[in-house]
Copies of this chain bind each other. A is one copy, B any other.
């Protein structure tokens, strides 16, 4: 799916919501636990209840890997199910991978070829050859970690950096990640993760990356505001995907979980619709 397709999808669904399928077997409703594949069954019900309100789904790999090979089977079935919706949905593997070139190449094969995701989150610490193998797949996306939503983002991402001892211009590490990535690919192939808890910094980030899509976690459970994110982060192609996980998928821990998930997603989608009307459409 290319950048224009993604914008069209956003206009069609009047939403820029990404639902995080962080499906935790210890948190899903008890009545599902007798099923053969409770994680997959939970995901299908959440997807069916929210797909018309949602642009993207983003399973975080940690939740599936924690269940071993069985969890990976649940993931394979989930992405297979999402693919039956064709271009109506954008799929993100939240894997935060990154390794030496040959190894990143294998990860890219896993997430793009084998599993068929549209995008994968990539950690930038190891630099160019850890990222570029993910860029070899046309119409697939790298979502680079830039400024994450957690407290630890302060430790390294916010450090002021200079290229060498003589240079005087200082920019923060996450800004360096953004500017460096232009050497590898532009806004048609790369997005950035920017935490909603840092909404006030979105204005500065937009100066460095005016056209990129930003994947924004941390609205809701982690405390960020949707209005602020839209105010500072939107560009004329919307340019933001806002992720919500726990608030939606665990809106109820009972038999009505899918219904309640839909109510929650619907609330967010209605706010998003207003923000899109106000800022773009």
Contact = CB atoms under 8 A, between A and B. Distances in A.
A140 to B, nearest CB: 16
A69 to B, nearest CB: 4
A129 B152 contact: yes
Given A60-B99, A162-B159, A126 B145 contact: yes
Contacts of A125: 123-125, 145, 148, 156-157
B176 A152 contact: no
Nearest to A167: B160
Contacts of A107: 62, 65-66
Q: Which bracket fits the contact residues of A?
A: 35 or more
Interface in A115-168: 123-131, 145, 148-157, 159-165, 167
A131 B151 CA distance: 12
A18 to B, nearest CB: 16
Interface in A50-109: 60, 62-63, 65-66, 68-70, 72-73, 76, 96-101, 103-104, 106-107, 109
27 contacts: A62-B97, A62-B99, A65-B72, A65-B107, A66-B109, A66-B110, A66-B114, A68-B114, A69-B72, A69-B76, A96-B97, A96-B123, A100-B149, A101-B150, A101-B151, A125-B156, A126-B148, A126-B150, A127-B154, A128-B155, A129-B151, A129-B152, A160-B162, A160-B163, A160-B164, A160-B165, A173-B173
